[in-house]
Amino acid sequence: MMYDFFVDLFGNTVIAGIASGILMSLLPLFLFILPYALFAVLAERKVSAHMQDRLGPMRIGWHGWNQTIADIIKLIQKEDIVASDTDKPLFNFAPVLVFAGSYAAFAAIPFSSYYIGSEVDLGIFYIIAVTGLVVAGILMAGWASNNKYSLLGSMRSVAQIVSYEIPTMLVVLSLVMVSETMSLHTLSEMQTGYFWNWYIFGGPGFSLTKFLLIPSMLIGFIIIYISTLAEVNRVPFDIPEAESELVAGYHTEYSGMKFAMFFLAEYANMYAVSAIVAALFFGGYQSPVGYLGNLLGVEWLIPIEQFLWFAAKGLFFVFVQMWLRWTLPRLRVDQLMAVSWKYLIPIAFVNLIVIGFITLI
């Protein structure tokens, strides 16, 4: 659609391809991630405040609704401080890499049946792969800062992400075994209809396997939620940026817009993993109760509804992440590793085998 428009405009398929590619890839950023981040940062502060019987930001706008906008204006105006002993090329490039990694994941996330950045056949696999860029970026940031806290933070972060990728992969694998697809779009389409077709309730259809799968799916969901929580460095797995130990971890030395990029990447990541959980287990963009568009016979309403459902599911899991943040204290490093290697990975393995047997039936 957009490609055709640019072909008409430029009369050249190459330029049209590039232009439409750039425009399409910027669309989720400006249409979704930035507004979401604006909302999520405020929501985080509000949720944390109300969970501690405080009020949170109240001064800018009604109940502080414009607080994040004011913060962003402040961050844009701030001086970009680069300490003299930092490794400058790497220091400047690291936030870009981190943001690129977390942003690339959005290419394969199905927002609605009509809008999905790239309908790659390997959707979920691709998302896990590009997360590797985030790891490299964090390592780069920690190294380039030439600061022991940054380096420690990035080391911890990388060790954590690498170990928690294993349970994530195992759960994804077990789901791929059940659904026989890696495309998030197909996966969402399979869970259409009502909420009992979601994979958390054993997947579509009514057979013996469905009911046998329910406990395994529940375990799988808990494992993937915990491990993705660790992958985005959220509390209780926030040892990479533990304020009380490491100042701010790998982004200690960053200020201004570079810090904002890390911040944005963190919040984008939070949504990305929530969206993955929603797409794998909770029907993706499918409505749990049917569509208003079908009821009224309005065809164009359905994609919008799907988008809203998807956003709502993602935001719910983001809310649970915040909820957990203000409930649990931080884990120690050895406890963190113990959770991954002694608990999540063996259970995920057993779960994988059990699901394999059930699907064979």
Binding site for another protein (CB under 8 A): 13-14, 17-18, 47, 49-55, 58, 87, 90, 120-122, 125-126, 128-133, 135-136, 139-140, 143, 148, 151, 155, 158-159, 162, 165, 182, 222, 323-324, 326-328, 343
Alpha helices (runs of H) in 78-179, residue ranges in sequence order: 88-104, 123-144, 148-179
Q: Which residues have a Cβ under 8 Å from the Cβ of 150 and sit 6 or more positions away?
A: 141, 142, 249, 250, 251, 252, 253
**How near is the Cβ of 232 to another protein at its closest, in Å?**
15
For 12, the token pair is 């050249």
Q: For residue 180, give the H/E element and its range.
A: none
Q: Closest approach of Cβ 161 to another protein, in Å?
A: 9
Nearer to another protein, 139 or 184 (CB): 139
Cβ proximity to another protein: between 174 and 197 the closer is: 174
CB of 7 to another protein, least distance (A): 11
Q: Which is nearer to another protein, 72 or 170 (CB)?
A: 170
Least distance CB 276 / another protein (angstroms): 15
Which contacts of 87-92 are long-range, i.e. CB under 8 A and separated by 24 or more positions? 87/143, 87/144, 87/146, 88/144, 89/144, 90/140, 90/143, 90/144, 91/141, 91/144, 91/145, 91/253, 92/258
Residue 180 or 243: the one with the smaller Cβ distance to another protein is 180
Q: How far is the CB of 291 from another protein (least distance, A)?
A: 29
Residues 6+ apart with CB under 8 A from 119: 110, 183, 185
Report which DSSP code applies to 88.
H
- 231 vs 305, beta carbon nearer another protein: 231
- Identity of the residue, 58 or 212, whose beta carbon is nearer to another protein in the bound complex: 58
CB 241 to another protein: min, Å: 18
Q: What's the start-to-end Cα distance of the chain, in Å?
A: 45
Compute the least distance from the CB of residue 179 to another protein, in Å. Answer: 13
Q: How far is CA 193 from CA 49, 71, 112, 114, 282, in A?
A: 38, 42, 15, 17, 12
- Buried-exposed string 40-51: b where 16+ CB fall within 10 A, e elsewhere: bbbbbbbbebee
* Residue (194 or 326) nearer to another protein, CB: 326
